[in-house]
Structure 1
Amino acid sequence: MALKLLFICTGNTCRSPMAEGLARELFGEGIQVSSAGMEAWEGEKASAQALEVLKERNMDLSAHRSRRINVELLTEADWIIPMTQSQEESLKRRFPQFVQKIRYLGGWGGQRRDIRDPWMGSVSEYRQTALEIEELLSFVKDQLISSGDN
C-alpha cells in the first residue's frame, strides 16, 4: 500500500497544487499525493501562474480542482503537510486526533521555513515558490526514505 501525502495551503489553488505536482514528479508512483485547502472554495482551478510554472516543467495541473480539508481526507493521509507553521498549528488545534501526522513542509529536515503565498503575484514569484517547495520536498523524501516510510 502506497504512502499517502496530503499537501495543505489556504485556497488549494497555488502552493498545495504545485507541491502535489512537484511531489508526484519527485516521488514517482511509490507515493500517492493530493492536496486541499484550509479555506478553499470547492472546484476552483489552479491559478494561471501555477499552471504556467508547472507547464514549464512539463507538468499539467489543468485538471486540478480545489477542495476544502475535511476529516475524511485527513484520515486517509499518512502525512498532512501544510505550507506554513501557522497552518500546522491551526490544523493541530482543529484536528487534535491527527497531531502525530501533521508537519509543515519547512519543518522537515529542520529547515523551519514557511512557503510564502504567491497568490495574485507574478509568474516569477510563482517560479520562486516552486523552487522553494521543490527544495523542501527533497528533505521530505530523504526523511521518508531514511525512516523506511517509503
Structure 2
Amino acid sequence: MIKNILVICLGNICRSPMAEGLLKKRYPDKNIASAGLREITVGWSADPFAIRVMKENGIDIRGHRARLLTADLLKKADLVLTMEKEQSDIVKYSFPNYRGKIMRIGEYDDVDVPDPYSKNIDAFRESFNLISEGLDKIGRQLICPENGAAAAS
C-alpha cells in the first residue's frame, strides 16, 4: 500500500509543488512531499504563476519552500514521481537503491511534463493539466487501485 509519495522536479518551485498540492487535496490520508534536483533554489517559494494556477484550482501552495532531494526523502517514500524521463534516469543513477519506486507522472501516456519556469501563465496551466491527467492514471493504477476497479465496474 502506498502511503508516502515524493514528487520531484528540477528546482522544486513550479511543477513538483503543483503536484504536491494536488496530491494533498486528492489524498489527505497520504504523506506527500516534494523536492528538487537543483540546490540553487533551496528555500525559494513556489513560482508566482504556480501559486496562481493552484489558487484557480482551489489549492493554496503559498507556504511552499523548495528543498533538495536527499537519500532520506527517497528512503521514506513508497512512490517517487518525476516530471521527465531524464529526471527519472538521473534519480535512478544517483540513488540506485530506490530504482523500483521511481516513475514519471506521465508514465502511462509516455509524456513528460514540460518545465514552465520563466514562461507565461498558459505554460503553467498546461503543466498543471498534464500533472492532473498523469495523477488520475497513477491514482487508479497505484495509489488507490481498489477505487479504480470499483469505478470501472
Structure 1 stretches of 4+ moved >4 Å: none
Q: What are the ranges of 5 or more consecutive residues in structure 1 without an aligned counterpart?
A: none
Residue matched to 2:8:
8
User: In the superposition, relative to structure 1, how do residues 103 and 2 fare at CA in structure 2: closer, same or farther (>3 Å)?
Assistant: closer
d(CA) in 1 for partners of 2:2 and 2:110?
A: 27
Quote the offset at 1:30 in angstroms.
2.2
Q: Name the % identity.
A: 34
Matching residue's letter, 1:101: K
- How many residues in Structure 1 have an aligned counterpart in Structure 2? 145
Contact residue 2 and residue 32 of structure 1 kept, 8 A: no
d(CA) in 2 for partners of 1:102 and 1:72?
A: 15
Residue matched to 1:111:
109
Q: What's the secondary structure of 1:115's corresponding residue?
A: coil
Q: What are the ranges of 5 or more consecutive residues in structure 2 without an aligned counterpart?
A: 148-153
Q: Deviations over 1:1-49 (max 9, x none)?
A: 970110000000000000001111222x222211000114211000000
d(CA) in 2 for partners of 1:69 and 1:49?
A: 23
Q: What's the secondary structure of 2:117's corresponding residue?
A: coil
d(CA) in 2 for partners of 1:80 and 1:147?
A: 20
The TM-score normalised by the length of structure 2 is 0.90
d(CA) in 2 for partners of 1:4 and 1:124?
A: 30
Aligned CA-pair RMSD: 1.6
Contact residue 6 and residue 77 of structure 1 kept, 8 A: yes
Residue matched to 1:30:
29
